[in-house]
Structure formats: C-alpha cells, structure tokens
Amino acid sequence: MSTSFLNIKNISKKFGQFSALNEISFSIKKNEFVCLLGPSGCGKTTLLRIIAGLEEATSGQIELDGKDITALPPSKRDFGIVFQSYALFPNLTALQNIEYGLKNRNFSKKEYKERALEALELVDLVHVKDKYPAHLSGGQQQRVALARAIAFSPKFLLLDEPLSALDAKVREKLRREIRSIQERIGITTIMVTHDQEEALTMADKIVVMNNAEIMQVGSPQTIYYQPSNPFVADFIGSINLWKEQNHCTRMMAIRPEHVQINAKGGVEAFVEHVEFRGPVYRLQVRVNEQSSFLFNRVMKVDVTSQAIQQFNIRKGSKISISLPHGQLLAYEEQVVV
C-alpha cells in the first residue's frame, strides 16, 4: 500500500436508475501513467470527472497521498486537467493562458513569469508565446493546454481524450511528446481514451472498462497477451473467439498473428479473402477439415508477405494452419459480459 499514490476505492455513480460506475477500485503509483480505456458509455469519463471533483460519486472514496480527498471541491484537489477541446482562453495569448493559472498562487510576479516560460519551453513552444489560440495549430493548442495544466506543479494530471480532435500524424507525434514530458517532470497521470493504440503505446498501466465495471487492470503487455476475459481479448486488438465443443462452458481464443501456417500437418483451410494491410496480410480462412473442432469456422490469420510468397497464398488457395498451445487463451463462459 505504501507505494500507491492515488487510491480509488469502491466508487459508484448512479444517475437515477442508471448505474454509470459500479464499485470501481484500483490504485495508481506515484509517477505512473494510467489509461482508462473502454468503449463510449463505459463510464471512463464519469470516473475521471469524479476524480477531478467535477462530479460527486454516489458512494466510495478517493485517497491522494494517504489523504481522503472525496469531500474536497476541485480547486482543493491540486490537479491539472487537459480537455479534448483544449479550453484555452481565446482572449489570452499562449503565455498569458499559462500565467493565468499561476497568478492566483503564492508566486511573485517574477516567479510566475519564469514558471510560465519554463512550461512553454517544456512543450517547445516559446516561439509562439505571444500568439492567440486561434492562430495556433491544433497540436500547438493542445501543447499549450498541457503546459498550462502542469505549470503550477500539480500533484497529478488528468487528460480527457486529449488527442482525439487531432489528425492521425499529429496524434502519433503528440503521444510520444506527452509521454516524454510526463516522464521528465515525473507527474502521476490519468488519461481517458477510447483508442486502444493510444493506451497501448503510452500507458504504464491500462484500466479497461466496460458497462460501468473494470474488466482488467494491467500493463499493456499483460492486457494484450493475457487478456483476462473475452471482452478485453476482443476489445484490444483482433482475436478469433470460439466455444470449445466438449466443454460447453469454455471459450477459446487466439490472436490472428499467433495462428501458424504450415506446409503440412495442421488443419486444412480454404482462403476466402486476402486483405493487404501494409506490413502484414490478413487472411480470412474457412476450416475445411471435418474432423476438426473448428470445422466450417472462419478464422482471421495474419501472415507476413514473405509467408504469402513462400506458400503461394491467393484467394481460393488451400493452406494448413495450426494453433500453438502456448498462445491459446481459454475462458470460463460466465465471465462473458
């Protein structure tokens, strides 16, 4: 317990009959970057707003650094926040936006001016300090918003879908930048996102949520390679899921890139579709072998272009696939939500 910095304890939130969050508990270590990941409507944004104090939980507690902060209004919780819309003040320049949050604290004028500049330096935007938000690009606005949120050295940082308004190229670049800034100043961060790639590339720890519940908490690798239930398996990346025949309560799963193609000896399958995806090809194959428990089932298989050539795979080809034991995942069915 001594290592946990931010503790979410049994948080529930009800809007009338509707339950937005159901007994959510997890903890975050100091300096950790945590992603709340889930489909829209899963409750992740509500949870972020409750952590911020913008919304009151129906029950449960939040502890920061050993202190209960459940009853504190947002202004007393000491966090910085960045919204999807950036929410930069349009009538203040980039620098003034950052200074604005510092003025109210016990800094001397000289000190807060320095700090604001430092924050701009951190996001590498000193050259636009006198520009108004409307004259900055989306990515620059987002970085100013980030600088404003961390300039007053808050105890933790909240990011509410900070990248979803940006286009793909900028988004990828900003992912790295946000993460490196976060590491440099070492600030505990919670980010809400619905983009699994964002979560996988940025987070130390991912909290996967669905239908007001936590589905799994773990490192990106754990979440990807050992999804603890079919929902997580299906939500993160792609997966083949099927019911095992003899055990009617068990589900089996395997990722497309883990399916192996053999010259001989596997299960025979018929290639129904070949889709080019750049680094890999995605095949859709139908299992042909009547004796197999996968008979007539459609499987997704990812293969390299090398393998395509090697086995001369085209639409209509017959191939042989096998499912390595070590990569197979098994679930008891009651876990399915």
Partner 1 sequence: MNSVLNEISPNKKVKQRIGANEWLERLLVTMVLAFFLITLVFPLLALFVQALYNKDNIFVGAQNFIEYFQTATLVSSLKNTLFISTVTMFISVTLAFFYAYSITRTRIIGKGIFRYMALLPLFAPTMMHGIALMYLFGNQGFITKGFFGLFPGVDLHLYGPVGIIMAEIVYTFPQAFLILLITLKTTDNRLYEAAETLGTGKWKQFLTITLPSAKYGLISSMFVVFTLSFTDYGAPKVVGGQYNVLATDIYKQVVGQQNLSMGATVGFILMIPAVFAFIVDQMTQRKQSTYLSSKSVPYKIGKNRKRDLAAFLYCFSITGFILILMFAVMAAALVKVWPYNLHLTLDHFSFSSYTGDGLTAYKNSLIISFLTAFFGTILTFLFAYAIEKIRKLFVYRKISYLLSIIPLAVPGLVIGISYVFFFSRPEIIILNWSISNPFHSLYGTIWIIVLANILHFYSVAFVTATTALKKLDREFELVSESMGIPFYKTFFKITVPMCLPAILEMSMFYFVNSMVTISAVVFLYSADFKLAAISIVNLDDAGNWASAAAMSVLIVFTNIVVKLLYEFGLKGLKKRTERWQLTNEN
| Binding positions for partner 1, rule: CB under 8 A | 9-10, 52-54, 56-61, 66-68, 70-77, 79-81, 83, 85, 87, 89-92, 100-101, 103-105, 132-135, 148-149, 152, 154, 158
Q: How far is the CB of 46 from partner 1 (least distance, A)?
A: 14
User: Which C-beta is closer to partner 1: that of 103 or that of 173?
Assistant: 103
Say how many C-beta atoms besides its own lie within 10 A of residue 141's C-beta.
23
Q: How far is the CB of 41 from partner 1 (least distance, A)?
A: 20
CA-CA distance, 264 to 268, in Å (whole number)? 9
User: Which C-beta is closer to partner 1: that of 50 or that of 199?
Assistant: 50
User: Which C-beta is closer to partner 1: that of 52 or that of 274?
Assistant: 52
| β-sheet bridge partners, residue 299 | 285
Q: How far is the CB of 88 from partner 1 (least distance, A)?
A: 9
Q: What are phi and psi of 128, to 5 degrees?
A: -110, 20
User: Which C-beta is closer to partner 1: that of 89 or that of 295?
Assistant: 89
Phi and psi based region of residue 153 (left: phi greater than 0; alpha: psi -120 to 50; beta: remaining): left
* Beta strands 67-68; 59-64: pairing state: antiparallel
CA-CA distance, 74 to 87, in Å (whole number)? 17
Three-state secondary structure readout of 263-302: CCCCEEEEEEEEEECCCEEEEEEEECCCCCCCCCCEEEEE
User: Which C-beta is closer to partner 1: that of 52 or that of 323?
Assistant: 52
User: Which C-beta is closer to partner 1: that of 98 or that of 207?
Assistant: 98
Q: How far is the CB of 89 from partner 1 (least distance, A)?
A: 5
Q: How far is the CB of 170 from partner 1 (least distance, A)?
A: 19
Q: How far is the CB of 160 from partner 1 (least distance, A)?
A: 9
Query: Which of 234, 172, 232 minimizes the C-alpha distance to 197?
Result: 172
Tokens 């997704």, residue? 300
